[in-house]
Amino acid sequence: MKQRRVVGFCCDEKNKTVLFSRGKKTTSFFTEDSKLYITPREQKKIRAGIKIDRNIRKWDSLSSRIVSDFVRYNPSRASLLARKLQERYELMNEEVFEASRSFLGQFTTVRLWNASIVGSILFGMVMMTFVYRYLGQGAEAKQIKSSDNAEQQIVESRGEVLGVSSTADDAESFARQVMEIEQIKSKQALESEIKKMVKGYPMEKMASSIAEQDRTVAAFIVAIGKKESAWGKRVPVLDGKDCYNYWGYRGKRELMGTGGHTCFDSPEDAVATVAKRIEALVEDYGRDTPEEMVVWKCGSNCAVTGGQTAANKWISDVTMYFDELVEEK
């Protein structure tokens, strides 16, 4: 009877694949996802010491294929590679932060404000040019069409020339405005530097007038004034009043103070007169350094005004303050 059943089973199932596992018979199974047998790939992992998750109905095939591998290759906190990557990441963050801070630090509030003003003027000039060239000439062209062909050609040619001339005038006007803005900005910066340097001294009241001069001339006025009078603390007087002569200037005038020094009518008069003399020495004789400007102290012969040692001391003291102002910051 049993033999007949086996023979019958073999005849019925001879064209099918049947798997006996876990006390059950099944004709539907596939690879390792069924968890019904150990595949060669899983056997290889087991021999290598890898723990295989064989639980059924857990995460389908993700359980042994992904989770186990993930646990296997997860780096530890002491991993050299992980530590190096973390160090590189922290270093990169620091470099980006320092670069951004140094870049933004270059733009002060004053510079950003001046840049916005220049940008607004530039934008306005460009828009005016476009409006004139495209809207203005377009309206003019409609008016020209009402005349005959000969007059139209003449007027159009004239219109083109006038347009070019007007555009050139606009460009020149814009350039002048930009230069004026830059000059105002430069004078304001120079005045601020001078006021900061001579704050609390009598020369402070002359800061605005000094800032109106060329920067090199202004630097000499401040530097020589420091050497000759401590910025107005040691000055010639006339009838007990300040002569506003802070530079040892000895030009002949109706009013002369103590020591044969010139007396000026006002601080503005003093700055204008001294600036004119220094400008002549700089422009006409090329005396644009304290070494060459030592003639202010020595005249034609340093031997009669204290010798070369005194001249060298004068040059050294003047250079100290001249260098602070001569270069625009």
- Domain containing 213 equals 202-326
User: By mean pLDDT, which of 124-138, 153-167, 265-279 is the weakest?
Assistant: 153-167
What integer pLDDT is reported at residue 9 of this predicted model?
A: 52
Residue 262 phi/psi, 5-degree rounding, is: -70, 145
Same domain, residue pair 232 and 321: yes
Task: Please check the confidence at residue 149 and state whether its pLDDT lies above 60.
Answer: no
- In angstroms, the CA 129 to CA 79 distance is 66
Shared domain for 51 and 113, answered yes or no, is no
Residues 248, 170: one domain? no
Following DSSP, what letter does each residue of 220-236 receive, concatenated?
A: HHHHHHHHHHTTTTS--
267, 305, 149, 283: which is closest to 214 by C-alpha? 283
Reply yes or no on whether the pLDDT at 66 is more than 50.
no
pLDDT per residue as tens digits for the range 206-264: 999 999 999 999 999 999 999 999 999 999 999 999 999 999 999 888 889 998 899 99
Q: What was the pLDDT predicted at 28?
A: 62
DSSP state, residue 18: -
- pLDDT-derived band at 285, boundaries 50, 70, 90: very high
Bigger pLDDT: 79 or 190?
190
Yes or no: say if 278 and 220 are a contact pair by the CB < 8 Å rule.
Answer: yes
Residues 126 and 88 in one domain: no
Q: Where among 88, 106, 124 does a domain terminate?
A: 106
Do 9 and 125 reside in the same domain of the chain?
A: no
Q: Are residues 274 and 162 in the same domain?
A: no
Distances (CA, A) of 293 to 18, 69, 209, 214, 250: 113, 84, 21, 16, 16
Q: Within this chain, do residues 213 and 230 fall inside the same structural domain, yes or no?
A: yes
Spell out the residues 6+ positions from residue 72 whose beta carbon is closer than 8 angstroms to its own: 50
Please count the structural domains in the chain: 4
Residue 224's pLDDT is 97
**Mean pLDDT score, 132-156:** 53
Confidence of residue 67 (pLDDT cuts 50, 70, 90): very low
If you average pLDDT over residues 95-104, what whole number do you get?
Answer: 74
- Whether the pLDDT of residue 72 is over 60: the answer is no
For 109-139, write each residue's pLDDT tens digit.
667 777 778 888 888 888 887 776 766 555 4
Split at pLDDT 50, 70, 90, the class of 106 is low
95 with 154, same domain? Answer: no
For the chain, the average pLDDT equals 77
**Do residues 87 and 139 share a domain?**
no
Summarize the confidence of residues 28-55 as an average pLDDT: 71
Is the model more confident about 83 or about 262? 262
At 246 the pLDDT is 96
* Residue 268 backbone dihedrals phi, psi, to 5 degrees: -65, -40
The DSSP H or E segment spanning 154 is helix 149-198
Please tell me whether residues 180 and 274 are part of one structural domain.
no
Residue 139's pLDDT is: 45
**202: pLDDT strictly greater than 80:** yes
Lowest mean pLDDT of 48-62, 175-189, 218-232, 245-259, name the range: 48-62
Q: Measured between alpha carbons, how far is 89 from 87 in angstroms, rounded to an integer? A: 5
pLDDT value for 117: 83
Tell me what percent of the chain is helix, strand and coil, each rounded to the nearest 5.
Answer: 70, 5, 25
Q: How confident is the model at residue 108 (pLDDT cuts 50, 70, 90)?
A: low
Task: Give the span between the Cα atoms of 11 and 138, in whole angstroms.
Answer: 100
- Same structural domain, 93 and 176: no
Where does the pLDDT of residue 155 fall: very low under 50, low under 70, confident under 90, or very high at 90 and above? very low
Residue 30 has pLDDT above 60, yes or no: no
Global confidence as pTM: 0.48
Name the domain boundary from 197, 216, 237.
197
Per-residue pLDDT, 78:
58
No. of helices (H) and no. of strands (E), the chain:
13, 4
Strand partners, 108: none
Residues 305 and 290 placed together within one structural domain of the fold: yes
C-alpha separations of 163 from 126, 154, 157, 166, 169 in Å: 15, 14, 10, 5, 10
Give the rounded distance of the alpha carbon of 282 from its chain centre: 34
Query: Of 197, 212, 230, which residue constitutes the final position of a domain?
Result: 197
